[in-house]
Amino acid sequence: MRTCEFQDWGLVPYAKAWERQRALAERRKRGEIPDQFVIVEHPPVITMGRNGHDENLLTSPSELAALGIAYETIDRGGDVTYHGPGQIVGYPILDLREWKRDVGAYLRALEQLLIDTLADCGLVAERWHGKTGVWIDGRKVAAMGVHLSRWVTTHGFALNFDTNLDDFRHIVPCGLALPVTSMRAEGARASKSEVVAGLVRHFGQQFHTEILVPQESFS
């Protein structure tokens, strides 16, 4: 069976995490390391993807800076999104040549592992036809945006666990004028470590890989 190493980076500024992602992706392309599944949390930051539209940023970068919110333009797909404390952000660094050379299948697998993890926590989540991400009764609970280079993935998903939803007022999330929510807002009582453990378990199931988890990860 294929293997994938799990890492939990804790709270890391977005720019630093992006740099670390790119370094891991280059090593993965050279075959120096197996697939990676990174979980991280970011201080407040708004990121604009390569398909983003300026009109979906409702607060200027200078005003955001004054509020303590960073702003980054990056190479993932999708539009504008927000990351901040209380989010569980997942960055899979996978060589899809060893799974499926199919970007659509990859996105659907990410959605499914999120849906399954939320179900473990008593929440009924679903896909929304024609839109990427995961929703609860029309409210977006997880956003996704990915980048592939030589079939190696970077970026991934952001699951609102106990996020300050008020910070989303600075953007039109993913270009969609629809409400956002969090697991806590929907009544889930699972701990963060329980949610992360569920994500790791379902990640292994979706990608048919053995997850190598450091012993202290969920202690």
Q: At what angle do helices 192-206 and 103-120 cross, to 10 degrees?
A: 140
Residue 121 annotated to the active site? no
Task: Read off the tokens for 194.
Answer: 């329980």
Q: Please identify which of the residues 93, 174, 183, 211 carries the catalytic annotation.
A: 174
Is residue 143 within 8 Å of 173, Cβ to Cβ?
yes
**What's the rounded Cα separation, in Å, for the pair 43 and 204?**
28
Cβ atoms within 10 Å of 38's Cβ, excluding its own: 21
Pairing of strands 209-212, 2-11: parallel
**What's the rounded Cα separation, in Å, for the pair 185 and 141?**
10
Helix, strand, or coil here: 177? Answer: coil
**What's the rounded Cα separation, in Å, for the pair 53 and 168?**
16
Q: Which residues contact 196 (CB under 8 A, 6 or more apart)?
A: 8, 39, 88, 217, 218
Residue 119's H or E segment, with its range, is helix 103-120
Q: Hey, which residues are catalytic here?
A: 174
